[in-house]
Amino acid sequence: MGVIDIADYTKAFSARGYLVIYYADGLTNTVYTDYNETDNSRSIAEVAYRLKTMNPDSYNAISDAKKAIMDAYATAYVAPQD
């Protein structure tokens, strides 16, 4: 895990998957996953919180040192109000 500035714990980051297909004739085609901001943007705080609360087996499998880092990130998460 890298070092993330505390001010960025709640900053949402986005990502999108893609696949490049290489054809025998030398042509390529790139296929992208669907993207929308709501479904594809998360903060490190949200990811850590959800790991701890929704995936306890995965959380418990990491080292105590990494749990301490995840816990620090998770405490910054504020669930959205509907």
Block residue for tokens 């949200």 = 46
What pTM was computed for the model?
Answer: 0.69
**Number of DSSP helices (H) and strands (E) in the chain, helices first:** 4, 4
Token pair for 62: 């990491």
User: At residue 2, does pLDDT exceed 70?
Assistant: no
pLDDT at 31: 98
Backbone dihedral angles phi then psi of residue 68, each to the nearest 5 degrees: -60, -40
